[in-house]
Amino acid sequence: MFDKIEELERRYQELEALLSDPAVISNQPEFRKLSREHADLTDLVAAYRRYRKVLDELDENRELLADPDMRGMAEEEIASLQEERERLEGEIKLLLLPKDPNDSKGVILEIRAGTGGDEAALFAGDLLRMYLRWAERHRFRAEVMSLNETGIGGVKEAIVEVHGDGAYSRLKYEGGTHRVQRIPATESSGRVHTSTATVVALPEVEATEISIDEDRDLRIDVKRASGPGGQSVNTTDSAVRITHLPSGLVVEIQDEKSQHKNKAKALAVLRARLQDIEMRKQREAGSVARRSMVGAGDRADKIRTYNFPQDRVTDHRIGMDLSNLPGVLDGNLDRLIDALAETDQAEKLQVLMSEDGTA
């Protein structure tokens, strides 16, 4: 493990030199890339340097044990340093966990009504507002890229992009099937109905990360945008439908009046979906692939239930129950997200320790 850390420390020193190179500074894309790598290594290198210092101090104090006048003080110092060493070893193991390269990115959320008819569409609308409120609370910029509403205020499908460093690292755990249990306003008998909506969480993808040959790989159709009930939204042919011929994926965006803006948004969603397909293939092909308790965001995974009669939100992946359901739907998601992130981290640490033969 420590051989690997020393190699990373050498890389850290290389990065420090590169980031002071005028040629790198003038190349902003490269500078940002190297800065992110440098930032990712900073905490690990600092912890490792402190760890080495603690080991040196332990050796010095052990030598003092032979001196009767210094023995008592040395024993106290050794006990304190051993505690510090154990704490740093745990911290270093956590910092060595494989990082999701997408964690620093923004996120694209796709929310779709599932089973339950109008009530499912209303629930999908609740989830959309929940994520918009969460983004607002954390001062992320959220942009609704596509919105297909029903006539009663529900949402058949919505695509929202949350811009900002680290948005994906937080909202990636939201992927899966969300279930609601409540009495619909139209239910005269007071019977509780169960409905579902699905959420897909995709990291933002730069144009340079996914190669798309627009001439060969895409069929782009434009048409006049329309609103609920066939109502015309624009008077120009601004809606854009992109079909990725190799995969069959289809993305349609019509929210902007500008055809160019709709095309740019559709391409952003398409790139994110294509990268998601590639990532899933890599996970399935990996010899050490494992299924995390918190899931891989598959739509078939029932991840959470929102029970209105009992004022309870249950995350089934970690068995966590929260009260104050209205507060959760108002964007207070952090207790759930923190617990999911901690579970994910603990699982990865267990795998790392098993591979090192320490568990």
Instruction: Tell me the per-residue pLDDT of 270-317, one tens digit each, with 9 for 90 and over.
Output: 999 999 998 888 777 654 444 555 665 566 689 999 999 999 999 999
> Which residue shows structure tokens 């692939």?
289
The architecture that CATH gives domain 107-208+288-347 is: 2-Layer Sandwich (3.30)
Amino acid at the residue 103: D
Those residues with Cβ within 8 angstroms of residue 216's Cβ, 6 or more apart along the chain or in another chain: 245
Q: Average pLDDT over the chain, rounded to whole? A: 88
DSSP for 57-94 reads: HHHHHHHHTTSTTTHHHHHHHHHHHHHHHHHHHHHHHH
54 in Cβ contact with 83 (< 8 Å): no
For helices 28-64 and 71-95, angle between their N-to-C axes, nearest 10 degrees: 150
Measured CA to CA, the distance from residue 170 to residue 168 in angstroms comes to 5
User: How many helices (H) does the chain have, and how many strands (E)?
Assistant: 10, 11
197 in Cβ contact with 120 (< 8 Å): yes
Report domain extents, the chain: 2-95, 107-208+288-347, 214-284
Q: What is the pTM of this model?
A: 0.75
Those residues with Cβ within 8 angstroms of residue 340's Cβ, 6 or more apart along the chain or in another chain: 173, 294, 315, 317, 318
Strand partners, 223: 239
Determine the pLDDT at residue 359.
43
Amino acid at the residue 336: L
Residue, of 299 and 17, whose pLDDT is higher: 17
The CATH topology of domain 214-284 is: Double Stranded RNA Binding Domain (3.30.160)
- From the list 113, 110, 150, the residue with the least C-alpha distance to 253 is 110
Instruction: Tell me the per-residue pLDDT of 94-111, one tens digit each, with 9 for 90 and over.
Output: 888 877 888 889 999 999
Instruction: Tell me the per-residue pLDDT of 203-242, one tens digit each, with 9 for 90 and over.
Output: 999 887 888 888 899 999 988 766 544 444 444 567 899 9
